Each structure stands twice: as structure tokens, then as C-alpha cells.
Structure 1
Amino acid sequence: MPNRHHDVHHAPGITLKRLPLRKAAVCFIGAVWLCLCGLLYLQLDQSRSHDLSLAQVASTNLTRAMAQQAEDTFMKADLVLTSLVDLIQMDGAGPQQLERLQKTFARRVLTLDQLHGILLFDRNGQWVVTSFESLPRGPGVADREYFKFHQQNVTSVAHIGPAIRSRENGEWIIPISKRINDKDGNFQGVLLAGIKMSYFDQFFKSFSLDDKGSMFLGLTDGTLLARRPFVESQIGTSVAQSEIFKNLLPQANSGSAMFTSSIDGVTRMYGYRQLEAYPLVVTAASSIDTILAGWYDTAFRSSIIVALVLVGVGLFGWVFIYQVRVGEQVEKDLRRAQEALELIATHDSLTGLANRRLFERALDIEFGRGARQVSPLSLIMLDIDYFKRYNDTYGHVVGDHCLAEVARALKSCCHRKADLAVRYGGEEFAVLLPDTDIHGAMTIAEQIRRSVIDKNISHSGSPNGYVTVSLGCYSFVPSGRDSMDVFIQRADAALYQAKHSGRNRVASLSTESSVETLMRSDR
């Protein structure tokens, strides 16, 4: 069989590696898809980061305004309390001063919109005088947090306590209070100013905030004083475990962050700030849904456009790849047709063996290789004995079958890829054996002879009664100046010698032109 030395598809010349066009097209289309998706992702990511950055700045500015307003609100109330504490500690709060104190309290409340009222309590928590026209009745305020604070703390600093309901009219207020001492510094009572919860509610509403936005005023311990949206049940609750109080405030007194609220579970961009003058914290936040509403709309429209482009590129790519596949299939069919034509041109159609054209090409290659490598080259020529009689007896159709069977026997003995079995013409065959000396050629020739006999093809015109072959072998080391015709003639001479010696045998011709005949008889 032809090998890589003899194959017509490995003829000398430059072979260009074919570009895998279909794979390249798929990779290109995939790269375009990835680039478009990557660009869309980068654009949307930058746009989202920009919107979040603007929201962060807005929340920071809002908390700064809230902090300033809250500080001003409590500072004004604190100044009123301070002046009144000085007045009470200087003039006292006896029966003769009560009427004047009540009018003073009432005037001060009228001057500040945030004040619900001003109230003075004695050391037992009972009302002494208020800004209201009549004193409330009841058990007093000894149970209130602010009253207990001043009983236990000598400080003259104003105290802001948790929000409470006024026992005067039930309105929610944020108490800011101061301790009243006698001349010896002993506890004499508490002066309290109530900040209206509604004041902060109106203040919060003055800011443009989305429906899911949030504003918060609380103590530094996490107690909620006022919030937008207002939920009465949440007033006075603790948010000390929230992100702001637990993690952010210990790191910085102001800043911004995005997280999910522990109160209502809404994710927002929060700005927060702790007041410098009072133990208060303010926060303002916008929901992420509102902040990114425009971004979501842009992302949707951009994604639709990119998706349409991707679909278009995909359809174009599919058509292109389909056309490439069609072209490749056509080329493959042409290649198969070319290979079939090459096979027809270089192989015998009856036996499937190489023909003389491929034999001559292989001889040219092996002559050159043998000369370069100084390796022996052998040739076996064989002929079917009494084949004319066979055709005359059995007919040409059976004769063709006989030729095919002999060709199979021949191929079965050519074990190496380099060996080339040839139908030389008519009933004559040849076997080219590279890197094989005369002894190896004789051995293979004998194997061929035995293989044909083992086929047991009946031949009444042969003395043996079955088909046999005669074989002639010749071997030499090419020098580079040798003649292929002489090489073939010497192998043919050995074959002639085998036939003259009685057929059904192997003969060899040495390089000195002396004839050695190896007789093989099956009788």
C-alpha cells in the first residue's frame, strides 16, 4: 500500500496551513458579543456609580441641613431654659412670683414656634407653674425619665430625653430640661421645655423626599425621637443595633452609606451626622429604587438596543457560518472527487494495487532516499504461472477474480507502510521494498509464494492443479546515478530465471549479475 513516501497527496512542495474559517467566524462573532456586552456593562456600571455618588452627596447635604436645624431648635430652647433657671434661682418660685413666672413662661413659648410649653416641677415632681393658664392635675412627673435623671445628676447641662406624650393635652413632645438647685446646691426641682414633635414633622416635610425615603432624629444611644414617615408605634424604640449606630458612628461622626433599614427593611442611601452641641443624631436617606429609577430606565433601553444588535450580529453570523459550511462541504466534495481521481490515476481499479505511474514515482523517491541514507532497496517481480491457460479455461471474468485474489495475497505480505505492492501489467506484479536487502526480499517473496498457494485457487492447466506464482528478486544500494529501467530489468531477469527453472519458485539476481535460484517445490 502507498505510504507517506509514495502518496500522491504528499508530493514535494510548500503546503499552506488552511485557516479554520468557520472557527474564526464563531470566535469573531463571540468576541463582538463579548465586547458589546462588556461595553454595555461598563457604561451601566459607570452610570450607576454616578447616580449613587450624586445621591450620596445629596444625602450628606441634607443631613447637614437637618443637623443645623435641630441644633438651632434645641439651642434656642436651651437658652430660654438657662435664662429662666437663673431667674428662678435668683428670685425664687414662691407664691408671690408664680403669676409673674407664668406670664414669663407664656411669653417665651409664644416667641418660639417649636415650643409646646414650659413647666416647672418641685422636688417631688409636682407642677409649680407652667406656660399654660391652669396647672394640670395628676400624680406628677416623678416617674418621668428626665425627672429621675436630674434627681441623680448634679450637672447643669440641659438634658434631652426620649419623646413622651404631654400630660397637659396628650401631644407628642421631646423634653429638654434643666435641674433647679437651692443656694446650697441641693435638688429643688426641674424646669422643662417641650419641643413639639409636629414641629420636626413639618420640618421633615419641607424637604423633597421620595415615598420610600426616610428622615430620622434620635438620641446617641439609638432611641428614636422623630421620623419620617411618622409611625407612632416606632417612637421611643431603639435602633442601637442598626448599621449607623453599631458600625458607622464609632468610626466617624458623619458620613454616608448604603444598607437595608432595620426598621422597615427598605434599602436606602443614608447620610448621617451627630450633633456637636447635643447628644443627637440625624439621618436622611433616599431609597435605592428612587435613586436608580432613571438608571433602570436607561439600562432597560440600552439593553434592548444592544440585544437587537446582538441578534442582528448573531443572524448575520449564522448566515455567514452557514455559507462557510456550504463552501466547506463543496470543497470537501471536490477534494473527495480529486482524491478519487488521484486514486484512479495511481491505482489499479481491479486489484486496488498501485499502478505503474505511482510505481515509477515511488522508485524516483526511494532511489534518492536510498542514496542519501546508503540503505538497500529491493524489488520483487512476480508472475502468475500459466495464466493464459487459466483465462482460456475459465474465462476472463474468473481470470479477473484470480488476479484480485493474488493481489490480496500480495498485500497481506506487505506489513510495512513503506512497502509498495504494484500491478505491473497483465498478470505481472511487483513489490518495492525500501531498507530491505536481498535476504529480506527473498523471505518476503517466499511468503508471497506460500500465501498464493494457500488460497488454493483451482487451475486445471497447471501441473500443480492450483494457481502458483514465480518470483524474481533484486537488491542494491542506490548511488544516485542509477537507472530505474536497469533496476526493473534485473528483477525481471530474476523472474525469468525462476520461470525457466520450473515455475512456482523464487529466484534472485546478485549485483554481480550472477543468478541464484531458490527452488521451492510443493510436491
Structure 2
Amino acid sequence: MPAPIHDPYYTLGGPLKRLPLRKAAVAFIAAVCLCLCGLLYLQLKQSRDHDLALAQVSSANLTRAMAQQAQDTFRAADLVVSSLVDWIQDEGYEAARNPRLQQTFARRAQALEQLHGLFLVDREGRWVVSSFGDLTRPVTFDDREYFKFHQRNASREVHIGPAIRSRQNGEWIIPLSRRINGPQGEFQGVLMAGIRLAYFDRFFKSFSIDDQALMFLALADGTLLARRPSDQQMIGKSLAQGPIFRTYLPQARSGSAMIRTPSDGSVRLYGYQQLQAYPLVVAAAIPEEVMLRGWWANAVQSSVIVALVVLGISLFGWVFVLQVRNSERIEADLRAAQERLEVIATHDSLTGLGNRRLFQRVLETEFARSQRQQRRLSLILLDIDYFKPFNDTYGHLAGDQCLVQVAHLVKSCCQRKTDLVVRYGGEEFAVLLADADIDAAYTLAEQIRQRIRAAAIPHRAAPSGQLTASLGCYAFVPTLEDRVELLIERADAALYQAKHLGRNRTQVMSEGGTLKDDAGVKVQG
């Protein structure tokens, strides 16, 4: 008697004689595998730490570049504003000087790419002069944050406010402003330079970093000014409760930290820096998965190699310590398993009929045979009438029992061994008839329909009060130009017509593709 396939101790020569050797071999193989895995772990850990260290250096460099660019941008605008404020306080801005001021404003605004424009506002918040020339309508600025700030504060230091939309053309700008005082230090107005938000958008986009990376410029109080990726809805939002402003900036003006983002749960390496000369903060965040993308690729490659080596060693050990398998028993078991799988793959588990896969395979074979031998091939498609209401009324368990009963009735009507009955899908069944003309198909279809009606299966949701079925038939002699799908399409068209004409009937489509009325009249049961 052959040994069971699962018995690991059977050998042709009897049980293994040297049990300690087998144990030693298993221990040796396990030790080698553990050593390989340990070395792999150490190598991957060192590589990961190295990649993270390089990422921290890159993040710090990126943050410094952002801070330097932001500081240079605001300093250039601040120099323009401070020099003009000194000039205006010395010369005044009477109406006679306005054209000269406007020309000066225009030249200064055109000289700096980042400047949207320059605006002079009097102590009442009324527009006096701008780099754009005359405004098309009266404009007041007394509601702007920067105007209220200078109106309340006597300091002549520069002020950078939250991003606003320009009343000149609607463009997003960051206001940089200084207070203008009178001879006695009284408040006389504000000079504001609008720095284009689009300038920082272009600057952020100039960095060759991953699309998942995050960059932003914010005020020292956490008010967001600009970010990458750009999102206008985020402009003006407060980041004060975020870990950068709440935890890290109070401890150091610059640095880096691994932070988990609450919105998506991803871990990012943040590099941050607060500018020395202005109340601004820049930060750049790179996702951990981006930083470790190369490491992951190397880890997968190394793990696969080690896994293959471990697998090879393990297989060698199993070959050394396990029995020689009985090939005949394996072959018999595999054959039986294949037959079982074949049945599972080609038959419907509920009704026991063939399934669509078997139908397609047999249909292609019979279609090719009918083409070669010029014999007729017929197809009957059957659909249970009002089956969804049946399920809704009696429940899905009763629906399954109904399908099993209908399958049995259809199968009992097919007497030839060559007739194939399958569950085509849902409540649809198909009967493939080789070497049968349309009359034979129609006769069999009517027999099936009447037998289903004679079974008197209750169906309260149907007009007749009992279960019925609609059938469509088609038969033809396929030529070399015909497609397999043509048989299904025309049988399905006949079935659709039977449904359309009131159900509980058999409808036939002629070989020419037209519906025949003589075979389609409803037969009362």
C-alpha cells in the first residue's frame, strides 16, 4: 500500500536510521537561515538610517534656500518702501506732487518682479497714489488689516500682513507696509507694497521635489501665506495649533522633525526656519515614503535574494530529511483533484447544471463542428418571468429552491446526450442543441415552457399567480463568415421579443434574422 501523501516519515528503505543527524541538519539549516535574516536586518537598518540622515541634510538645505529667497524678496520690497516713506515724509504728498509720485511708484514696481504694485493711503484710508495710475472708482483701505495696524501702532517698523486680494485686479498679494508720520509724529497714512503670491508659487515649483512634498510660507503667528501644492482655499488659514508652531519653533528658530500629518496619517520630515529680519516662517515637508523610496526598492531586492537563498537551503534540507514521495500516489491524487476542480470550474454549485464557462467552451466546439460539417446548430435561451418580484415576495432561499426546481424541469425535457443545459446567469438558462433545426428547438422550448407552467409553482407577484418562463429560439447553419456571438445575439433577441409580447411564450427568430409570428403565439397551459 503506498504511503499517504502527508506522511513525512515514510521512505522506501524504512524509517530514518539516524535521527540525531536529522535534528542536527534541521538545527544547522535553522541557524544559517536566522543568521542570513539577522544580517539582512542589520544591513537594512543601517541603510535606512543613512537615507534618513541624507534626507535631513537635504531638508535643511531646502529650508535654508527657501528662507534666503523669502528674506531677499521681502528685503528688496522693504528697501523700496522705506526709501519712499522717507521721501514722502520730507516732501509731502500734496496734489501737485502726485504725478511725480505716481511715476516713481511705477518705476519702482516695474523694477522688482515680485511687486504687484505700490499704494499710498492717507490717514482716512483714502487712496492717494498708486503705481497703477488713476483707479477707475473711489477706493478706501480703512478696512484693511495693515491700515488698522499702523493706525493703532506708532512704530515705524515694517509690517507684513495676511495675504489679501488686490482691489486693483483681484490678484492675491502679501502686503508689506510702513507707517507715514507727520512732523509731530502723528499718523498721516500708510505706504504698502503688494508682493505677488504667484511669485512664491513659481519659486516653490522651481524645486525638483516629489509632488507629495509640502512647502509653505507663513507669518510668525501661523497665518498661511503661500504653499505648495497651491490651494487658494488654504490661504489665510491658521497653522498655529500645528506641531511646528506649537512645539518646535518655541524651542529653536530652525530645525527638522518627523511629524505625522493628522489629515492623512502619513509621516513627513519637516524642515523649518524662522527668518531673522522679518516675522516669517518657511517650512518644507517630505513624506517618509518618498525619502525611503530607494531604500524600499533595495530592501525588497535584498529580501527577495535572501528569501530565495533561505528557500533553497530549506528545500535542500527537506529533501535531505523527508521521505521519497510515492509518484503514483501523487499522480492519482493530482488527477482526482484536477477532475474535482474541473467540475467546480464548469458547473453551477446551486443547480448542478453547467455554467457559462462550460457553455462557452462547448459552444465554440459545436460551432466549429457545424461549420465544418454544414449542420444546423440551435440555441434556446430561457428566462424566468418576474423572478425579482418572486425573490422579493418569498425570499432568496425560496428563489434558490425555485431555480433548482426549474433546472430539474429543463434538464428532464432534454433526452439526447448531446443536448447541453446550463445556467447562463441569474434566472437565465440556455439549451444548446447540436444538429437540430428550428422546429426541433421550438418543440423542445414549448415542452419546457409547458412543463414549468404545469409544475404550478406559486407566484403571487405574477399576473397569472404561478411561475412561468419566456423562451427565445434560433437555429442556423454557420458559415465561415459567421461569428459565435451571432447565435447568442439572435436567440437573445427572440427572448427579448417574447418578454416584450407579454411573457410566458416562446418566440422564434428565423435564420434570416427576422422574428416569426407563427411560432411566437402564446400557448396557454
Q: TM class, shorter-chain normalised? A: 0.5 to 0.7
Residue 146 of structure 1 aligns to which amino acid in structure 2? Y
Question: Is 1:285 equivalent to 2:282 in the alignment?
Answer: no
Deviations, residues 458-496 of structure 1 (Å, cap 9, x unaligned): xxxxxxxxxxxxxxxxxxxxxxxxxxxxxxxxxxxxxxx
What does 1:231-270 align with in structure 2 at a 5 Å threshold? 231-262=231-262, 266-270=266-270
How many Å separate the matches in 2 of 1:242 and 1:75? Answer: 28
Deviations, residues 264-308 of structure 1 (Å, cap 9, x unaligned): 654322211110000101112222222222111111111111111
Contact kept? 2:127, 2:139, Cα under 8 Å: no
| 2:77 corresponding residue in structure 1 | 77
Question: Is 1:41 equivalent to 2:45 in the alignment?
Answer: no
Distance 1:142 1:96, change over 3 A: same
| 2:94 corresponding residue in structure 1 | 94
Contact kept? 1:242, 1:262, Cα under 8 Å: no
Secondary structure of 1:278's counterpart equals coil
| 2:340 corresponding residue in structure 1 | none
What does 1:186-265 align with in structure 2 at a 5 Å threshold? 186-262=186-262
| 1:453 corresponding residue in structure 2 | none
Secondary structure of 1:211's counterpart equals coil
Contact kept? 2:253, 2:274, Cα under 8 Å: yes
Contact kept? 1:129, 1:135, Cα under 8 Å: no
How many Å separate the matches in 2 of 1:127 and 1:277? Answer: 29
| 1:165 corresponding residue in structure 2 | 165
Residue 248 of structure 1 aligns to which amino acid in structure 2? Y
Q: What's the CA shift for 1:140?
A: 1.2
How many Å separate the matches in 2 of 1:262 and 1:89? Answer: 50
Contact kept? 2:225, 2:236, Cα under 8 Å: yes
How many Å separate the matches in 2 of 1:278 and 1:211? Answer: 29
Count of residue pairs brought into register by the alignment: 307
Residue 257 of structure 1 aligns to which amino acid in structure 2? A
How many Å separate the matches in 1 of 2:139 and 2:66? Answer: 37
Secondary structure of 2:322's counterpart equals helix
| 1:56 corresponding residue in structure 2 | 56
How many Å separate the matches in 1 of 2:319 and 2:83? Answer: 89
How many Å separate the matches in 1 of 2:234 and 2:264? Answer: 11
How many Å separate the matches in 1 of 2:75 and 2:115? Answer: 12
| 2:341 corresponding residue in structure 1 | none
| 1:103 corresponding residue in structure 2 | 103
Q: What's the CA shift for 1:137?
A: 2.8
The CA RMSD measured in Å over matched residues stands at 1.9
How many Å separate the matches in 1 of 2:110 and 2:181? Answer: 27
How many Å separate the matches in 1 of 2:292 and 2:170? Answer: 41
What does 1:316-465 align with in structure 2 at a 5 Å threshold? 316-322=316-322
Q: Which runs of 5+ in 2 are unaligned?
A: 1-17, 324-525
| 2:26 corresponding residue in structure 1 | 26
Moved over 6 A (4+): none
| 1:135 corresponding residue in structure 2 | 135
Contact kept? 1:204, 1:215, Cα under 8 Å: yes
How many Å separate the matches in 2 of 1:262 and 1:94? Answer: 55
Question: Is 1:302 equivalent to 2:302 in the alignment?
Answer: yes
How many Å separate the matches in 1 of 2:267 and 2:177? Answer: 36
Percent pairwise identity: 64
Residue 135 of structure 2 aligns to which amino acid in structure 1? L
Distance 1:294 1:27, change over 3 A: same
Q: Which runs of 5+ in 1 are unaligned?
A: 1-17, 324-523
Secondary structure of 1:237's counterpart equals coil
Contact kept? 1:242, 1:261, Cα under 8 Å: no
Q: Which has the bigger relative contact order, CA under 8 A and spacing at least 6?
A: 1
How many Å separate the matches in 2 of 1:114 and 1:139? Answer: 23
TM-score (norm 2): 0.56
| 1:428 corresponding residue in structure 2 | none
Secondary structure of 1:113's counterpart equals coil
Secondary structure of 1:216's counterpart equals strand
Contact kept? 2:163, 2:172, Cα under 8 Å: yes
How many Å separate the matches in 2 of 1:209 and 1:125? Answer: 43
Secondary structure of 2:101's counterpart equals helix
Task: Compare 199-208 and 161-170 and name the one that shifted more.
Answer: 199-208
